[in-house]
């Protein structure tokens, strides 16, 4: 039993039945050109009235439900797929740590490095593998800078499904090891993530498989919304600010979707302000948010490989999420990122990868601007484990 209604185009509003695989809006995607953000990304809509009723019944039946029970209920109510299809490898329900050891500020750290493959991407892979199982499809292809690929490889292994990966040759070695150890088929692509994205699309055109390219299938966003649902359950309220490491914009769009869905069902009445933490060399979404006009990042070159993207696939959705939530985009340097990474590791015990640390670096910038009130509830999304890229870590001696 689930409350999934249909797919709706985020550009033209056209709705599509969910019975067979569909990726972008067939009408809007005709305007797609390689090297541009994806047009006509679909979103899942639900029977929000039914969800509201089911949630109310849950709250009456279990008035003392703990965060884990609430997470389980919310993730089930807002899932487009039934539980039985999910692979046998637990994903999500990651810790939310309240820390006061970072410059004396109270911050909530959502650490997704504890997922099976060590990153937030497991949330999207989990749902895509479940969809493959529902449809009886035996193969999934994706392009990735490393984390989505490692994640897909792990979850496919758990479900006996073949994973086909197109990754830039310069992806961090640990991520390439993860892909191989889970027995995925790895194709190294000379060039950037954008080149790998195009190569995966070519493969998909000639093979009977699902395509997990981020934002391409609506479930990649649906999977990534579960982190937002968890924040609501763990805090017991909507946080005021959520800092999100942002490259292609899909995690940002996914977290925004969680709060749109909760609001639509009347479970909450407001949206958190979203902050896109971007590398200064991979800042297409921040520039788009500032200027109102899309342009590629000129030359992405950052230590934070997970957010190094020239053409963010979900740029339109990400900028909409920033605007709808009165959020902002912030650029941080590699130096700020590495310093934040060390501070997190040495003061909170959390070793996250550089892209995750961009959120703390961005938070420090907002302190200079006095944009956030002292009492505000601020969450930093730490989306990947530091062991995934040990070469990025630098020591003074």
List of residues contacting Zn ion (CB under 5 A): 9, 11-12, 14, 25, 27-28, 40
Provide the minimum distance between the beta carbon of 39 and Zn ion in the complex, in angstroms, as a whole number. 8
278 Cβ contact partners less than 8 Å away, ≥ 6 residues apart: 246, 247, 285, 286, 307, 329, 330, 331, 332, 358
Residues forming a β-bridge with 273: 241
Please choose, from the candidates 18, 17, 13, the residue with its C-alpha nearest in 3D space to the C-alpha of residue 28: 13
Provide the minimum distance between the beta carbon of 245 and Zn ion in the complex, in angstroms, as a whole number. 28
User: 25 or 297: whose CB is closer to Zn ion?
Assistant: 25
C-beta atoms surrounding 341 within 10 Å: 29
User: 9 or 158: whose CB is closer to Zn ion?
Assistant: 9
Length of the chain: 397
User: 22 or 97: whose CB is closer to Zn ion?
Assistant: 22
Provide the minimum distance between the beta carbon of 12 and Zn ion in the complex, in angstroms, as a whole number. 3
Residues forming a β-bridge with 24: 41
User: 28 or 358: whose CB is closer to Zn ion?
Assistant: 28
User: 39 or 384: whose CB is closer to Zn ion?
Assistant: 39
Provide the minimum distance between the beta carbon of 148 and Zn ion in the complex, in angstroms, as a whole number. 25
User: 40 or 223: whose CB is closer to Zn ion?
Assistant: 40
Provide the minimum distance between the beta carbon of 318 and Zn ion in the complex, in angstroms, as a whole number. 18
User: 36 or 367: whose CB is closer to Zn ion?
Assistant: 36
Q: How far apart are alpha carbons 343 and 218 in whole angstroms?
A: 36
User: 11 or 331: whose CB is closer to Zn ion?
Assistant: 11
User: 40 or 116: whose CB is closer to Zn ion?
Assistant: 40
Provide the minimum distance between the beta carbon of 221 and Zn ion in the complex, in angstroms, as a whole number. 15
Provide the minimum distance between the beta carbon of 40 and Zn ion in the complex, in angstroms, as a whole number. 4
Provide the minimum distance between the beta carbon of 9 and Zn ion in the complex, in angstroms, as a whole number. 3
User: 22 or 174: whose CB is closer to Zn ion?
Assistant: 22
Provide the minimum distance between the beta carbon of 10 and Zn ion in the complex, in angstroms, as a whole number. 8
Provide the minimum distance between the beta carbon of 261 and Zn ion in the complex, in angstroms, as a whole number. 20
Three-state SS string over the chain comes to CCCEEEEEECCCCCEECCCCCCCECCCHHHHCCCCCCCCCEEEEEECHHHHHHHHHHHHHHCCCCCHHHHHHHHHHHCCCCCHHHCCCCCCCCCCEEEEEEECCEEEEEEEHHHCCCCECCHHHHHHHHHHHHHHCCCEEEEECCCHHHHHHHHHHHHHCCEEEEEEECCCCHHHHHHHHHCCCEEEEECCCHHHHHHHHHHHHHCCCCEECCCCCCHHHHHHHHHHHHHHHHHHCCCCCEEEEECCCCHHHHHHHHHHHHHHHCCCCCCCCEEEEEEECCCCHHHHHHHHCCCCCCCCCCCCCHHHCCCCCCCHHHHHHHHHHCCCEEEEECHHHHHHHHHHHHHHHCCCECHHHHHHHHHHHHHHHHCCCCCCCCEEEEECEEHHHHHHHCCCCC
């Amino acid at each position: 039993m689930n409350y999934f209604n249909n797919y709706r185009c985020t550009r033209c509003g056209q709705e599509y039945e969910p019975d067979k695989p569909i990726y972008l809006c067939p009408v809007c995607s005709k305007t797609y050109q390689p090297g541009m953000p994806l047009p006509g990304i679909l979103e899942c809509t639900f029977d929000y009235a039914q969800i509201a009723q089911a949630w109310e019944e849950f709250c009456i039946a279990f008035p003392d439900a703990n965060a884990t029970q609430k997470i389980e209920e919310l993730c089930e109510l807002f899932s487009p797929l039934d539980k039985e299809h999910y692979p046998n490898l637990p994903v999500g329900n990651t810790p939310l740590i309240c820390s006061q050891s970072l410059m004396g500020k109270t911050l909530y750290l959502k650490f997704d490095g504890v997922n099976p493959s060590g990153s937030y991407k497991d949330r999207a892979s989990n749902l895509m593998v479940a969809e493959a199982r529902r449809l009886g499809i035996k193969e999934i292809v994706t392009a990735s800078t490393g984390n989505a690929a490692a994640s897909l490889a792990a979850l496919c292994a758990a479900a006996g499904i073949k994973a086909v990966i197109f990754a830039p040759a310069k992806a961090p070695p640990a991520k390439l090891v993860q892909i191989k150890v889970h027995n995925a088929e790895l194709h190294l692509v000379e060039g950037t993530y954008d080149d790998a994205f195009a190569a995966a699309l070519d493969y998909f055109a000639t093979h009977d498989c699902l395509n997990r390219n981020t934002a391409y299938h609506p479930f990649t966003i649906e999977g990534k919304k579960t982190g937002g649902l968890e924040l609501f359950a763990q805090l017991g309220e909507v946080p005021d600010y959520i800092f999100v490491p942002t490259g292609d914009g899909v995690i940002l769009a996914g977290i925004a979707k969680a709060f749109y869905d909760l609001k639509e069902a009347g479970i909450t009445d407001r949206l958190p302000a979203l902050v896109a933490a971007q590398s200064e060399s991979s800042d297409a979404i921040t520039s788009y948010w500032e200027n109102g006009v899309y342009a590629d990042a000129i030359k992405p070159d950052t230590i934070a490989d997970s957010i190094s993207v020239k053409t963010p696939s979900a740029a339109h959705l990400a900028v909409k999420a920033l605007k709808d939530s009165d959020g902002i985009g912030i650029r941080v340097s590699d130096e700020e990122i590495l310093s934040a990474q060390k501070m997190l590791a040495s003061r909170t015990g959390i070793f996250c990868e550089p892209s995750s640390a961009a959120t703390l670096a961005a938070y420090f910038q907002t302190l200079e601007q006095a944009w956030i009130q002292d009492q505000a509830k601020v969450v930093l999304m730490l989306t990947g484990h530091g062991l995934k890229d040990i070469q990025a870590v630098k020591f003074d001696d």
